Every structure is written in structure tokens, then in C-alpha cells.
Structure 1
């Protein structure tokens, strides 16, 4: 089972999204857990997001995050895209995370996240 803390839900909409996701996974008999963390990401183009931590299958995570955007008309960050870097960068935690941003289920842009002091920060962002 994979787990991560790099998916995001539009700030202030997390409780509704988590409730919907939990109902969806129970209804569809999926093994998946998700909760809101204390960490947030601020973007210039897309607003603020509460990061969520989850455990389960990557495909389920991506599916439920994107579906929640459509069903609840909210913005979400779908993470988990990586670019190959050299081994030294990976060893020192200098890797990047590429993310897609969805609004109401439609792709609206891309974020590149970096780790700083153990937290994700936005390095670059681009409208779709």
C-alpha cells in the first residue's frame, strides 16, 4: 500500500471532500484512507489548498481526488508525477513532484512542488 501527503483539496472544502471520498470508497468496497493534514500550499494562480495524507492504491487516490473535484465543484491537486533525477538529488530529498490542478473536474494547470524543511512548497505553477 502506498501513502503520501502531496494531494490537495481547496482550502475550506476539505471536510466535505473527505466525507464524500470516504462514502465513495465504502460504497465501492475500496481499501483507502484519507485525512486532512495541518500543512497547506499557497498558489498564485489557483488559490490555497489543504494537503491530505492517504494510504491505499495510487490509482484509487488519483481517481477519488479527481472525482471529488467533479462531484463537489472544488479545486484539487492530483500529485504523483515524477521526473527522473540523478541519484544524489533523490538521496538528499531534492526531488520534485509534478501535479495537475483540477477545478470542477477540469484540468486547469500544473504545479511543481519541492520539499523544504520536510514540507511541500510550490516551486513553479502554470495555467493549463
Structure 2
């Protein structure tokens, strides 16, 4: 089963969004469960986000995060995208991920994150 800890939901709405996503996927018998990771990540352009850890299917996770953005009227970061690199640099280089920022179901930006001390932080952010 897949999983990630680099997805996020707008601060102040995360608990409600996580509960909604878990209920939706459970009712649809889909493999997905999300929990709050216990810390926030700050961005300059998009605001503060509560980090989410999830386990289940990647396709379900990407889909439910986009739906949550629209239905719950919240900003979300759908991440897990990686730059293609050589195998050795990927294994020994810094841990970097790219994500899409959605607001009310619409793509509004992109973000690059790096992992420092087991927590994701913003490296680069831009509007679409």
C-alpha cells in the first residue's frame, strides 16, 4: 500500500477536510486513510498549511484531495511529484518533491518542498 506525508490542507480546515475525505473514501470502499501529521508548513503566496499523512492508493489520494478542495472550499497541496534525475543523485541527494496547489478546486500554483529534520518546508513557490 502506498502512502505519503507531503500532502497538505489549508490551516484551520484540515481536521474537517480529513474527516470528510476519510468518510467519502470509506463509503466508496476505496483504499485511503488520512491523518494530520501534527505540524504546519508556511508559504508566502498561499498561506499556512497543516501537513497530512495518508496511506492507500495514489490515484484515490490525488482524486480525493482535488475533490476536497472543491467541496470543502479549501486550499490543498497535492504533492508527490519528482524531478527525473540520475539514480545515484536521487538516492543520495536531498529529498525534494513538487506539488500542485488547488484553491476551491482550481489549480492556482506550484510548490517545491524539501525535507529538513523530518518536516517538509517550502523551497520555491509560484502562481500558475
**TM-score, normalised via structure 2 length:** 0.94
The unaligned stretches of length 5 or more in structure 1 are none
Aligned to 1:53: 53
Deviations 1:73-112 (A, max 9, x none): 0000000111112334322351320100000000000000
Aligned positions, number:
128
Aligned to 1:84: 84
Whole-angstrom CA distance in 2 between matches of 1:47 and 1:86: 33
Aligned to 2:19: 19
The question of whether the paired residues in 2 share the 8 Å contact of 1:93 and 1:115 is answered with no
Whole-angstrom CA distance in 1 between matches of 2:101 and 2:93: 23
User: RMSD between aligned alpha carbons?
Assistant: 1.1
> How much has 1:19 moved relative to structure 2?
1.3
Whole-angstrom CA distance in 2 between matches of 1:93 and 1:39: 24
Does structure 1 residue 124 correspond to structure 2 residue 124? yes
Aligned to 2:71: 71
Whole-angstrom CA distance in 2 between matches of 1:118 and 1:37: 11
Q: What secondary structure does 1:39 align onto?
A: strand
Whole-angstrom CA distance in 1 between matches of 2:37 and 2:96: 20
**TM-score, normalised via structure 1 length:** 0.94
The unaligned stretches of length 5 or more in structure 2 are none
Q: What secondary structure does 2:18 align onto?
A: helix
Q: What secondary structure does 2:84 align onto?
A: coil
Deviations 1:3-49 (A, max 9, x none): 11000000010111011111101111112111001122100000000
Does structure 1 residue 111 correspond to structure 2 residue 103? no
Q: What secondary structure does 2:5 align onto?
A: strand
